[in-house]
Amino acid sequence: MKGIIAIGLLGLSSFAFAYQNPTKEGECFFVDGAKQSYACMILSGGDVGASYIDLQFNKQEYLIEQSVAVACGGKCVPHLGTIPEDVREAKKYFRNYKTKNIIANQAKGDWTCYKQNKGKLDVCYISN
C-alpha cells in the first residue's frame, strides 16, 4: 500500500515543473534622462503558467513576469516590478541599440524594454 501511495505521489509531482535557463551576462539600463547602461545578470525561467526574467544591475533587481497564452486566454500582458508582491502591468517595446531611441520593430542586437503602465519603472536589456 505504501508503495502505491509513493508511486502515486511521484506521478503527481511529474505534472508540476519549473525550469531555469542558464544565467546570461548582458547590458541593462533604467530609462531615465541619462540612459546609462550597466553590465547585468539576466536570469530567466518559468513553469507551466508563466515565464520570468530577472534583471540584476546597479545594486537593484527588476522582475518581469509573463503568463503563457493558455493561462490568460491569449490576452497576456507582462508585469514589471522590483519584488514579486509589487509587480504591475507593463508594456513591452524596443529601442535601437546605439541611439536608445524607441523603434517599432526589433532587429537583432536591439534593446528589449518593459515599462509599467501605471508606475515609474522602465527598464531595457540585451544579452551578450
Q: For a pLDDT cut of 70, what percent of the chain falls above it?
A: 80
The answer to whether 40 touches 26, Cβ cutoff 8 Å, is yes
Write out the three cell numbers for 44.
Answer: 530567466
Close Cβ partners of 12 (under 8 Å, ≥ 6 residues apart): none
Q: pLDDT tens-digit profile of 53-89? A: 999 999 999 999 988 766 676 678 899 999 888 899 9
Mean pLDDT of the chain: 84
